[in-house]
Amino acid sequence: MPELGEVEYYRKQWDAGLRKKVTRVELHGKARVLRETDGEELGRLLTGAVLKGSEASGKQMIFRFDTGWLGVHLGMTGELRLESGGHEPGKHDHVVLFQKGRALVFRDARQFGRVRFHAGESEPEWWTRRAPDVLSEDFSEEAVRKFLARRKGAPIKAVLLMQERFPGIGNWMADEVLWRAKIAPTKKAGSLEPAETHSVWTESRFVCREALRIIGTDWSDPPDAWLMNHRWRDGGHCPRCGMELKRAEIGGRTTCWCTRCQK
C-alpha cells in the first residue's frame, strides 16, 4: 500500500514511543524482511535503547535510537502499528519493540518490506545516500529534464516509478501526476515537450505535497476531483471530463488514465 503519504502516516504511529525506553525486542527468526541485517545485534542493541526521533524520505523511514538506527521500508504490504503492552505478536509481526505500556510493531504479510539496523552514532550510508526528496530544492526542473532525457526510451509511467529521481511516488501517485499533467502514460519519456516536462515537475511536487498533507496527517481521502478515487472501480470515469477510464499494464504495473484528457 504505502507511497509517500502513507509512509508518513505510518512513521507517526511510533511517535507515542518517543523518548521512551525499549524494554524487550521480539523478532520473527528467519523473516525475509531482515535480509542481511543481524537480528541478534538488532535485538541486543535496541533492548534498553531510547527512541530519540524519526524521519521519512520517499518510501523509506529511519528511527534513531541512542544505540543505533533502525531503517524501515514497507514494501507492498508493510505497516507500522502502535499496540498495547500486552500485544501478542501475530504471524506477520516480524519486529516488535515493547515499551512500558505499548508495543511498536512492524507487520508485513508479503515480506517485500525491509528492516535494517546500523549500530553507532553516525548515520548509515543507506540513509545519507538516499535520493533527494521531490519537495526539496534538489528536485529541480533541470534535474527532471535530464532524467527524462536519460530514460528517453521508457514509458513516462515507468520513469515516474523510479525512486532514484521520484522517491515516494508509487503506482497511484504516478497515475495521478500524469492525469494532472495530461500526458498519456505510454508516451516515451524522451518525447515530452518542454511544457510537458515542466508539468511533470510541478505536478509531481503538487501530488507529493497534497499526499503528505491529506494522507500523511490522518489518512484522509483525497478529494473526489482526484483520479485516485476513481481508478480502481471497474467502469470508473474521469473526474475532469467524464470519459470512461482506461486500464492497462504499463511499466509492469496496472495503469489507469483518461484517453481523452491525456495525450
Q: Single out the catalytic residue among 21, 32, 240, 253.
A: 253
| 232 part of the interface to DNA, by CB under 7 A | yes
Residue 32 binds DNA (CB under 7 A)? yes
CA angle, residues 130, 136, 138, in degrees to nearest 5? 75
Specify the pairing of strand 60-65 against strand 93-99. Answer: unpaired
Q: Of these, 44, 206, 254, 260, which contacts DNA (CB under 7 A)?
A: 254
Q: Which helix (H) or strand (E) holds 76?
A: none
The window from 38-46, 49-57, 68-76, 218-226 that contacts DNA (CB under 7 A) reads 68-76
3 included as an active-site residue: yes
From 163, 182, 240, 246, residue interacting with DNA (rule: CB under 7 A)? 163
Site for DNA in 11-30 (CB under 7 A): none
Regarding 93 and contact with DNA (CB under 7 A), the answer is no
Element (H, E) at 116: strand 114-119
**CA–CA–CA angle 200, 205, 208 (5° rounding):** 120
Q: Which of 6, 8, 59, 205 is catalytic?
A: 59
Distance CA 228, CA 21 (A): 40
- Closer to DNA by CB, 126 or 206: give it: 126
As a whole number of angstroms, the distance between CA 27 and CA 132 comes to 32
246: three-class secondary structure by DSSP: strand
* 176 belongs to the catalytic site: no
Q: Is 219 in the site for DNA (CB under 7 A)?
A: no
Nearer to DNA, 47 or 163 (CB): 163
